[in-house]
Structure 1
Amino acid sequence: MRTVLISGGGIAGPVLAHRLRHHGFEPTVVERAPGPRAGGQAVDVRGVALDVVERMGLLDRASRVRTRMRGMSVLAPDGTEVHRSTESTFSSGRLDGADMELLREDLVRMVHERTRADIEYLFGDGITGLEEDASGVHVRFAHAAPRTFDLVVGADGLHSTVRRLAFGPEERFTHHLGSYLSVFAADNFLALDDWQVWLRDGDMGFGIMPVRDNTELRIAFGFESAPLAPELRTGDALRRLVVDRLQTLEWEGARLADAARKAPDFYCDAMAQIRMDQWSRGRVTLLGDAGYCPSPLSGQGTSLALVGAHVLAHCLAQASGDHHRGYARYEERMRPFVTLNQALATENPGGPASEESVTRAKNAISLDG
């Protein structure tokens, strides 16, 4: 069991490829985007996930590009400050802790640069079919010629193609958490200086942070909603919906709506979790958001991806060619960790989980257990 196809070139997939190569496997990563994806919000790397980054030789580099917030303000709907903190922020927790926050695109780029020399990447392509028999998994691609791999791993996110092909429709496993989140970049029209602002207005709210030496903003706008009808979940329809809602805000609504309308990196999706009784079927398994998305509300999606990649590679390496045993051990070790971290998203609806819960969840596994 040496050739492994990994679908998804974000964070989980390339980290798994790195760890598999370390153990002597031959991984290939296929990614629909034409290259490493840019854009996205700031992400947290916490607890044991920091050890994964360190083992890849990237901890010092990640530390150099981490966010350097001085604090945050919480605003009333009219923009009046009602609370401020120089000890913690909603996005990253305590500012004096060992955990780090950095832009997702920075982490994606450094992981890709760490792996591109000895990992085969198929950018601009995707899986269209999987057929398994005793010899392996026969994979059809949108563009590349069909190939056979010993194992296939879906690390392709909340809307995983591998999960759909191997396990069935997404609706079986998606648990909607009652809201949507949009993320987009803009010029720093608020002149924020290493300082976040957070505001809630009825069933809507946002967090805004400056990045890139305070030259840009990352805006995360959320709104409560039941699952939207399919025709409202297209990119253009979601952008129009977000723009319309932003325009109703009392404070800076017009400028925020204009930024969302123009943003080239506009993103919006449901806040949802993936909950499955089993992450593996035959020679196929799932990793990160594809198998156990905790939603951005948990703050732990990236850490679960990093830790899951390391644990899966370690379990396969210890299984002496028996992927059934490797997958079973992967699930046995990861499930308690996933359960605790998914619970962070629902512990305090409308706000962050307690510091005690985050501390317990982020350290609730040993990498080499």
Structure 2
Amino acid sequence: MVEQMGIMPELRAAATQVNRLAFVDADGRERGGFNMRTFQGSAGDREVEIARADLAAILLSAAGANTEIRWGDTITELTQTGDGVQVGFQHAEPERFDLVVGADGLHSTVRRLTFGPEADFIRHMGMYVATVEVDRPIRDEHQVVMVNTPGRAFVVHPASGTPGAAFMFRHPAVPGLDRSDLASHTRMVTQAFAGRLGCFSRYLDQLQAADDLYFDSVSRVRLPHWSTGHVTLLGDAASSLSLFGDGSTLAIAGAHTLAEELARAPADLPSAVARYEQRHRVLVKRRQRGFTASAMLLVPRSRGSIVIRDNLARLLGGRTHG
């Protein structure tokens, strides 16, 4: 799809230069690692890794002058009228649209207004994740570094000049946790990682001082249907794979499928979105099956599991360099 849009050169120019994942201990000693490009899919060298903000900027630019962008507003009401949707906004006047596509993420407002409370569709997968920008990468710009202790993973990614750190940890769901409560989020991460990061502890200090911390549950979204009438869901709003899946890739693939079906049946939008869902669910289900394996790889539960993972990575790394 991105090649058809003509934005592949821009994506390549903004892509990270990361090609290796290294597993290290709290003293900085490498315990295993491998070349990440070895595991590229069938797309081969057409696959690129790009920061979410860079991807969003490129897609926004590609939308062109024919797309109306509204900033600083949100949907508050959706009423289906038979041939469209009457949409209420927090600030703007209500308007009618032929189709509403909710591509508004894990905590989708469109999903809540259309299908019900998010608690009915979101399953906590036993982990939380926090991310924050940090001052400098570890080692070099081509390598992601991961430090594990049982049930915890700390990662530094060099990104494209603005390094980011991620703190993942296994934890039961916290009832009533306020997604806007920065102090509670910082406290949870600190309790999980304090005294466990060794020579990387400065990154926890940076997290504690940050005012732009991202924090959320590692969750999976499952709905019996993504579409009803003239409303449909796309991306994480429909089928979040959370941290461990290629959510942006799936969202773009889903958008392409949706566009194809809308072009095929512009006079019958409910049928078009139903066919989009039927087609795209096949790809989503296939990708979601890998969640458990990804969680075991990235956040092993025990020291023994960490050792086994590191040994396998070391063996695999040796083969990829052989």
Residue matched to 1:310: 256
Match of 2:190 among 243, 256, 263: 243
SS in 1 for 2:169: strand
Match of 1:110 in 2: 58
TM-score of the two chains, using structure 1 as the length reference: 0.75
Distance 2:133 2:72 in 1: 24
SS in 1 for 2:293: coil
Shift of 1:197: 0.8
3-state SS of paired residue (1:222) = strand
Q: Which amino acid is 1:295 matched to?
A: S
Q: Which amino acid aligns with 2:214?
A: Y
Conserved? CA contact 1:139–1:149, under 8 Å: yes
Q: Provide the residue aligned with 2:284 in structure 1.
A: 338
**Partner in structure 1 of residue 23 of structure 2:** 74
- In 1, Cα distance between equivalents of 2:254 and 2:96: 24
AA at the equivalent of 2:14 = V
Report if aligned partners of 1:73, 1:83 keep a CA contact under 8 Å in 2: yes
Distance 1:244 1:252 in 2: 17
Q: In structure 2, what is the equivalent of residue 197 of structure 1?
A: 145
Question: What does 1:78-227 correspond to in 2, within 5 Å?
Answer: 78-85=27-34, 87-88=35-36, 93-94=39-40, 97-188=45-136, 190=138, 192-213=140-161, 216-227=162-173
Gapped runs of 5+ residues in structure 1?
1-51, 353-369
* Aligned residue type for 2:227: S
Change (3 A) 1:334 1:94: closer
Aligned residue for 1:53?
2
CA distance in 2, matches of 1:198, 1:211: 14
Is 1:323 matched up with 2:269?
A: yes
1:70 Cα offset (Å): 4.5
Whether the aligned pair in 2 keeps the contact of 1:247 and 1:256 (CA below 8 Å) is no
For the Cα contact (< 8 Å) 2:137–2:158, is it kept in 1? no
Taking the aligned partners of 2:140 and 2:187, their CA distance within structure 1 comes to: 26
Match of 1:293 among 235, 240, 243: 240
SS at match of 2:296: coil
Q: Distance in 2 between matches of 1:212 and 1:339?
A: 31
Deviation at 1:229, TM superposition (A): 2.2
Is the contact made by 2:87 and 2:94 (CA closer than 8 Å) also made in structure 1?
Answer: yes
TM-score, normalised to structure 2, is 0.85
Q: CA deviation at 1:117?
A: 1.7
Q: 2:20 is aligned with what amino acid?
A: G
| CA 1:209–1:287: 2 relative to 1, 3 Å | same
How far is the alpha carbon of 1:313 from its aligned partner? 1.3
Q: Does 1:282 align with 2:229?
A: yes
Deviation, 1:108, is: 0.4
Tell me if structure 1 keeps the 8 A contact 2:147–2:197: no
Deviates more, 1:327-336 or 1:153-162: 327-336
Give the distance between the partners of 1:88 and 1:189, measured in 2 at CA.
Answer: 18
| Cα separation, 2, equivalents of 1:295 and 1:240 | 22
CA contact (8 A) 2:18 2:159 kept: no
Partner of 2:213: 266
The answer as to whether partners of 1:246 and 1:253 remain within 8 angstroms in 2 is no
Letter in 2 for 1:110: I
Q: Which 10-residue stretch deviates more, 238-247 or 162-171?
A: 238-247
**Amino acid across the alignment from 2:22:** S
Asked if the contact 2:144–2:157 (Cα under 8 Å) also holds between the matched residues in 1, the reply is: yes
Deviations 1:318-360 (A, max 9, x none): 11411121012111211111100111212343216xxxxxxxx
Q: Partner amino acid for 1:141?
A: F
Identity %: 34
Could you tell me which runs of 5 or more consecutive residues in structure 2 were left unpaired when the two chains were aligned.
299-322
SS of match in other structure, 2:106: coil
1:162 shift after superposition: 0.5
- SS across alignment from 1:114: helix
Secondary structure, aligned partner of 2:69 = strand
Distance, in Å, in 2 between the alignment partners of 1:341 and 1:93 is 15
CA distance 1:88–1:284, change in 2 (3 Å): same
Opposite residue 157 of structure 1, the aligned amino acid is: G
Q: How many pairs does the alignment contain?
A: 295
Give distance in 2, aligned partners of 1:325 and 1:212. Answer: 42
Question: Offset at 1:205?
Answer: 0.8
The residue type equivalent to 2:189 in the other structure is V
Q: 1:72: how far off?
A: 3.0
TM superposition shift of 1:181: 1.2
Equivalent position of 1:228 in the other structure = 174
- Give the match for residue 36 of structure 1: none
